[in-house]
Amino acid sequence: MTIQRRQFLHLAAGAVAVPAMSNCAWGQAYPSRPVHWIVPFPPGGGTDILSRLIGQWLSERLGQQFVIDNRPGAGSNIGTEAAVHASPDGYTLLLAASVHTINPSLYDKLGFNFIRDIAPVVGLMRVPNVMVLHPSIPARSVPEFIAYARANPGKINVASAGIGTAQHLAAELFKLMAGVDMVHVPYRGTAPALTDLLGGQVQLLFMSPASSLQYIRAGTLRGLAVTSAVRSQALPDLPPVGDFLPGFEASLMYGLGVPRNTPPEIVDRLNKEVNAGLADSGIKARLADLDGTVLGGSPADFGKLIAEETEKWRKVIRLANIKPE
């Protein structure tokens, strides 16, 4: 009986050890074929540049092609749902972004729960917007603008690229924290909003440094502040809005996610390689060109950021009573 018991314990221990060894081998062998990285936005923009930059790094480090798969539509929901329903084997990745922390509170019905269905891998970067003002408004700083807006309730039109966009939410957060009454004017994209801002039909827009830089330098528009917690490398003379409204932060967030139940060994491998890329001087320089502040860190760090941003925008959407178009 003693010999049989020892044999049983030996076999039981082996049964436990084999899956662990298999998982380890799985992580070490990954990837053995091309990996598809879903980017739920159109090609050609900053999200596309970021994904291709990190994808090229991963291709070189891991010896397999990381194929960028642009799937825009429905405010990123089409591409996100495709990632959610993909096999959790590490061969489908998702570019996670600020929109994924906004949409859960904006839409009544989604085909997924982002926090539940997408496992965080690593944060990539944050990019500020710039608070840009038409020069007809006699304000040269955030405090001056707040004073003017309070003295002229409902007379300032603030544009955005559409209802529920990050630009819109930044404006609503500003309105709530500054205690000002401004009229939101949604457009179908930044380009028409910028056209009307230049023409004076609207007076305020939160927009990217890359899009606003030439107009600020030419004096046709006035930059007041950036929406990030730190100054922008592209516009270092502009202070953060948070210097005047403590706690204000409305920069764009980007990171890497995978379908839930993806093996932790693969998540850890991706996290390690991406962190190595974010520490590379060449990649850091390219991200600086996008005016990005590097994130990096552990999967738990990125998961915490997603949860915090989701809760922040939930409150803003509820208080401002924002409904999707």
CA atoms within 13 Å, Cβ hemisphere of 123? 22
Res. 38: pLDDT tops 80: yes
d(CA 58, CA 42): 22
Structural contact between residues 237 and 193, judged by C-beta atoms closer than 8 angstroms: no
Residues 6 or more apart whose Cβ sits within 8 Å of residue 123: 253, 254, 255, 295, 296, 297, 301, 302, 305
For residue 220, is pLDDT > 50?
yes
pLDDT (0 to 100) of residue 14: 44
Dihedral sign, Cα of residue 117, residue 123, residue 125, residue 127: positive
Residue 109: its H or E element: none
For residue 8, the model assigns a pLDDT of: 38
E strands, the chain, are 35-39, 66-70, 92-97, 118-127, 130-133, 157-160, 183-186, 204-207, 222-226, 252-259, 293-294
227-252 pLDDT, tens digit per residue, is 999 999 889 999 999 999 999 999 99
Report domain extents, the chain: 34-126+252-320, 130-243
Residue-averaged pLDDT of the chain: 91
What is the percentage of the chain residues whose pLDDT exceeds 90? 80
Same fold, 34-126+252-320 and 130-243: yes
pLDDT at 20 over 70: no
Q: Determine the 3-state secondary structure of 249 from DSSP.
A: coil
pLDDT of 109 reads 86
Give dist(CA 315, CA 273) in Å, integer.
Answer: 35
Q: What pTM value is reported for the model?
A: 0.87
Mean pLDDT of 49-68: 96
pLDDT of 26 above 60: no
pLDDT range class, residue 271, cuts 50, 70, 90: very high
Query: What mean pLDDT do residues 55-62 have?
Result: 97
- Is residue 85's pLDDT more than 80? yes
Cβ-contact 212, 234 below 8 angstroms: no
**CA pair distance 38, 257, nearest whole angstrom:** 10
8 Å CB contact between 278 and 213: no
* 22-31, 165-174, 181-190: the lowest-pLDDT one: 22-31
183 in Cβ contact with 228 (< 8 Å): no
Asked whether the predicted pLDDT for residue 17 surpasses 60, the reply is: no
d(CA 38, CA 324): 24
What mean pLDDT do residues 279-302 have? 93
Over the stretch 92-140, which tens digit does the pLDDT of each residue have? 999 999 999 999 999 988 989 999 999 999 999 999 999 999 999 999 9
How much is the pLDDT for 44?
Answer: 79
Distance CA 133, CA 200 (A): 10
Residues whose CB falls within 8 Å of the CB of residue 94, separated by 6 or more in sequence, listed in order: 37, 38, 40, 79, 80, 83, 118, 256, 257, 258, 259
Among 3.40.50.300, 3.90.1170.50, 3.40.190.10, 3.90.105.20, what is the CATH number of 130-243?
3.40.190.10
Q: Which fold has domain 34-126+252-320?
A: D-Maltodextrin-Binding Protein; domain 2 (3.40.190)
Model confidence at 309, pLDDT cuts 50, 70, 90, reads very high
Judged against a pLDDT cut of 90, whether residue 5 lies above it is answered with no
